[in-house]
Amino acid sequence: MHELAIKYGCNPHQKPARVYNKNGELPITLLNGTPSFINFADALNSWQLVKELSEATGLPAAASFKHVSPAGAAVGIPLNDTLRKAYRIEKEDLSPVAAAYARARGADRLSSFGDFVAISHKVDIDTATILKTEVSDGIIAPDYDDEALEILKSKKRGTYVIMKMDKAYTPVDIESRDIFGITIEQMRNNAIITKDSFNDIVTDNKTIPSEAIRDLIIATITLKYTQSNSVCFAYDGQVIGCGAGQQSRVHCTRLAADKADNWMLRQHPRVLSMQFKEGLKNPAKDNAIDLYLRDDITDAELKEWEALFDVVPQKLTALEKKQWIQSFEGVSFSSDAFFPFRDSIDRAAVSSVKYVAQPGGSVRDPEVIDACNTYGMAMCFTGLRLFHH
């Protein structure tokens, strides 16, 4: 297949639209559904992420994308009982591929509503069974088990988008884009991120354990395919908070840190023991938990929220939230460009960050290093800026 007509571009009035490969056949086989322009943008970005993440870690990888940025990304590490309950996974012995997607989807369930999924390995029955219950627009993967494919084809009344990616496909080195009738081009971002990317540790604390290196790899590769400015928090083999597309780096940090805090708080025993009304669907439960964790809930929202429960849960106090977040030790934090001020480090410390990666190169690097030393963090300079637009 050399090209494929698309119903319209980003918006219904943007016609005509198509996808094609200027250098040969498309490396994508469409197995089901009618993908949109945005579906293809999500698919092509998310595939690169999971392919690189799997190659860097040696584990199956998955990503949950929305509007060309990852809501979550993860590798296939088994889920403990707490995470299985928080992610609403009933099966105890998930396959590594399914565990990777459960983690990616669980990073930020509100943002992942209606996601586009990328899987680095063959999609199996466990993965398809999880996806069957989630609101999702489509998936890209190198292959599918026959039964898994049939499960996925039944989604969205048979319209679920399913793409098969040629794993051997390698793009040309130069990529281009037209903006306002003008073509700009560049060498594609072929930077390779490995454990050796984090060797230049510039803080007093020089110790970054292997699990934290893995999480820094996850966070940093995720940033490579996140709309900039961006920062990313990772823990236990998965993204737990990603702040994308903000003009100020500290705003990225606040956004990502708030998401990371919510990820931790969703595992609090009081959240896990919530008694929802019979028949309440997962998206409604996710929204209810989000309202529960918010401090700025209105009276009208409170009334609607209380109606969702058989037993209305007692709200967590600010102190209880702080203590619970501090019980998570060793969160990793990566930035796609240098920190211009120490404010991002100060905010990250509140969310249990212990390990930091950034390119370095700011005139205020000494001030940022001092901030890390104050909190006992280990920070490395990668020397690699990862802006993505």
What is the DSSP code (8-state) at residue 146? H
Please say whether the beta carbons of 243 and 253 come within 8 A. Answer: yes
Which residues pair with residue 70 across a beta bridge?
A: 65
Peptide bond into 229 cis (omega under 30): yes
**What Rg do the C-alpha atoms of the chain give, in angstroms?**
21
CA angle 384, 182, 178 (to 5 degrees): 60
Amino acid occupying residue 40: F
Catalytic residues: 66-67, 229, 389
3-state secondary structure labels for all residues of 249-289: HHHHHHHHHHHHHHHHHCCCHHHHCCEECCCCCHHHHHHHH
Of the candidates 102, 103, 136, the one whose C-alpha atom is nearest the C-alpha of residue 117 is: 136
Please say whether the beta carbons of 231 and 336 come within 8 A. Answer: yes
Please say whether the beta carbons of 159 and 152 come within 8 A. Answer: no
Please say whether the beta carbons of 108 and 241 come within 8 A. Answer: yes
Kindly report the number of other CB atoms within 10 A of residue 92's CB atom: 9
Torsion of CA 295, 227, 86, 57, to 10 degrees: -140
3-state SS assignment for residue 84: helix
In the Cβ-directed half-sphere of 71, how many Cα atoms lie within 13 Å?
25
